[in-house]
Chain A
Amino acid sequence: MTRYAGNVAAIRDLVRDQEVHRDVYVSEEVFQLEMEHMFPNSWVYVGHDSQVPNPGDYFGTTIGTQPILLVRHTDGTVKVLHNRCPHKGTRITSETCGNAGKFFRCPYHAWSFRTDGSLLAIPLKKGYENTGFEQSHAASGMAPVRHVRNYRGFVFAKINDGGLDFEEFFGESLSSFDNMIDRSPVGQLKVAGGVLRYMHNCNWKMLVENQTDTCHPMVAHESSAGTVVEVWKKAPPGTKKPMAVEIIAPFMSPYEFFENMGIRIWDNGHGHTGVHHSIHSDYSAVPGYFEKMKAAYGEERAKAILGENRHNTVYFPNIMIKGPIQLLRHFKPIAANKTLVESWTFQLVDAPDMLLERTLMYNRLINAPTSIVGHDDLEMYERAQEGLHSNGNEWVNLQRLYSPDEAGQTNVAVNGTSEWPMRHQFRAWTKFMTMGM
């Protein structure tokens, strides 16, 4: 039964000012429409150009559920290609990343393609003579994603021709990427340390919402962060606070901390927590780092860069970055009730190794499938995914600190416990879901 396909009114009805219908999380039909419309209409994160440093380097990933390749072309630019052979559909690459040399070669019938996707050669080509092959879909090779933007190393792509251009889509939100990148004395990041992959039996949007949910840490993470605080209390006086305690203990900060921390709202569902301070504010200084930053930028600018403590910046639809610790989480949709969470980390080029060491410790303590903090969160998402099948109430409440005049406002800073970012994400969801429908 189709309820939503081609029915713009029915889709709009799923999102109200203060609540959303449970079908946005549980309906397979809505999920398929997200894949057909919302993801292709949006600028979606693909990967970082340091993953493909040399010509022929590739990295396989997905936009929504579609397999794509990030490739370094022979001219030095990065391309994004649909990862299927135009002949029979075979996925071209088998390793997640590697080097194709000068061309891709399909392992099935040896059709080959330049690193911009164009068809290079077909064995026994004369078998296609006088068949009208030039007019076929196959003749154009591996289809490129036409709209690609490399923003200071971070590569985004938009599959559909319609929608917004890159600057209009992101607006002022790119300042969070700028701050993360500027934390390198040479303004450059490099993917480093490996990726944590964590499977979640819940809808991808639950994870996105949670990134700006500041009323859950002291509750859901009482078991992990609360235990850290309790165990640490028993340490002999004068013991140096370990990095791990510095990382986890702030999750137990009281409501007032999060209220005062602030949330900023930008256009198109983007926004960040931690306008004034955040759980990353009080980490110990890393020896030698500030001196390098000062030498590179001058004291005033270095202090301004490091003085930003943005907690989580959500980029609609499905990534979050943490500028102060150079971490990016990618919430990859698989089904209405299944999401792969990839947590990527970056090295600040020309900065002390200890910064990467701390970032990796954060990642494994918070984002790994073996992480006690991760266990706390996943338990809540999976319970919600189940609970939403109740017919007793078909609506999810997002009402906290709602104000009727908030729609259309942008670049405003509000109380850090507001659910405005979630309402804002769903306004963008409706916009990009129904665009061109």
Chain B
Amino acid sequence: MSMVTEAQVKNAIPTDQELIDFVVREARLIDQQRFDEWLNLYADDAFYWMPLEWNQTDPRLTCSLMYEDKLLLSIRVERLKGARTFSQKPKSRCHHVLQTPQVDSRDPAANNYVTWTPMHYIETRMDEQTLYAAWATHHLSVENGRLKIKLKRVDLINCDAAFGNIQLFM
């Protein structure tokens, strides 16, 4: 498993390629189960949002599959390491196939960059393998010379379907 080190943004304003590389690298860290490094990609006030409804606009008074701040994400990461995390004995594995991320908007004045990435995500455990199709929207900003995720939104194509366990991160 070769290292992919976190690259500094060369200038104050990231290039499209730097945004794209960042999104691709995030998926790779999940697939390689490098969850502590993955969590470091998130800003302290970040949210990971997986809506429950098609075209959902409100995460507060409409339910979501996930709407988690960094505290809750860190709890998930810690839980995956736990000796008594029975639903991870044996562990799940996952695999992302990304379309090239598209830079939807860049706003250097507001330090806000948005990318849109269609993807297939596969999660597997024991003899079961499940395929999910989704779009990931990343809201990124530059903090201390590094890109950070402010919001990652994952819209499943079948967000309102009945699912079994989804245990890792899309």
B window 35-91: CB within 8 A of A: 50, 52-53, 60-67, 69, 71-72, 74-76, 78-79, 82, 84-88
User: Known interface pairs A194-B52, A201-B164. Does A356 touch B61 (Cβ–Cβ under 8 Å)?
Assistant: yes
Nearest chain A residue, comparing its CB with the CB of B85:
A223
Is B97 in contact with chain A by the CB < 8 A criterion? Answer: no
Contact present for B61 and A224 (CB under 8 Å): no
Is B166 in contact with chain A by the CB < 8 A criterion? Answer: yes
User: Known interface pairs A356-B61, A360-B62, A376-B87. Does A223 touch B161 (Cβ–Cβ under 8 Å)?
Assistant: no
Is B2 in contact with chain A by the CB < 8 A criterion? Answer: no
Contact present for A364 and B63 (CB under 8 Å): yes
B23 to chain A, nearest CB (A): 21
B162 to chain A, nearest CB (A): 4
Nearest chain B residue, comparing its CB with the CB of A359:
B63
Which stretch from A1-9, A150-158, A227-235, A276-284 is at the chain B interface? A227-235
Contact present for B86 and A376 (CB under 8 Å): yes
B-side contacts of A196, CB under 8 Å: 52, 63, 65
Majority SS of interface residues in chain A?
Answer: helix
User: Known interface pairs A201-B164, A223-B86, A369-B164. Does A230 touch B78 (Cβ–Cβ under 8 Å)?
Assistant: yes
B-side contacts of A299, CB under 8 Å: none
A window 192-223: CB within 8 A of B: 192-201, 220, 222-223
Contact present for B75 and A372 (CB under 8 Å): yes
B-side contacts of A368, CB under 8 Å: 63, 65-66
CA distance A155 to B5 in the complex (A): 58
Contact present for A357 and B65 (CB under 8 Å): no
CA distance A345 to B60 in the complex (A): 13
CA distance A368 to B61 in the complex (A): 16
Nearest chain B residue, comparing its CB with the CB of A356:
B61
A-side contacts of B63, CB under 8 Å: 193-196, 345, 360, 363-364, 368
Is B102 in contact with chain A by the CB < 8 A criterion? Answer: no
State the interface size on chain B (CB cutoff 8 A): 33
State the interface size on chain A (CB cutoff 8 A): 41
User: Known interface pairs A198-B162, A230-B78. Does A353 touch B61 (Cβ–Cβ under 8 Å)?
Assistant: yes
User: Known interface pairs A360-B63, A370-B65. Does A197 touch B163 (Cβ–Cβ under 8 Å)?
Assistant: yes
CA distance A192 to B62 in the complex (A): 8
Contact present for B72 and A199 (CB under 8 Å): no
Is B112 in contact with chain A by the CB < 8 A criterion? Answer: no
Contact present for A199 and B64 (CB under 8 Å): no
Nearest chain A residue, comparing its CB with the CB of B167:
A375
B window 122-170: CB within 8 A of A: 160-167
Nearest chain A residue, comparing its CB with the CB of B78:
A227
CA distance A245 to B74 in the complex (A): 13
A-side contacts of B52, CB under 8 Å: 194, 196, 364
User: Known interface pairs A193-B62, A223-B85. Does A378 touch B165 (Cβ–Cβ under 8 Å)?
Assistant: yes
User: Known interface pairs A244-B72, A368-B66, A378-B165. Does A197 touch B79 (Cβ–Cβ under 8 Å)?
Assistant: no
CA distance A53 to B122 in the complex (A): 40
Contact present for A227 and B62 (CB under 8 Å): no
A-side contacts of B165, CB under 8 Å: 369, 374-375, 378
A-side contacts of B53, CB under 8 Å: 194
User: Known interface pairs A231-B74, A353-B61, A360-B62. Does A224 touch B161 (Cβ–Cβ under 8 Å)?
Assistant: no
Given A223-B86, A364-B64, output 18 extra A-B contacts at Cβ < 8 Å. Answer: A194-B63, A196-B52, A197-B161, A198-B162, A223-B79, A223-B88, A224-B75, A242-B71, A245-B71, A356-B61, A357-B60, A364-B66, A365-B72, A368-B66, A369-B165, A370-B166, A372-B76, A378-B165
**Which residues of B approach A to under 8 Å, CB–CB?**
50, 52-53, 60-67, 69, 71-72, 74-76, 78-79, 82, 84-88, 160-167
The 5 closest A-B pairs by CB, nearest first: A197-B162, A369-B163, A379-B87, A223-B85, A375-B87
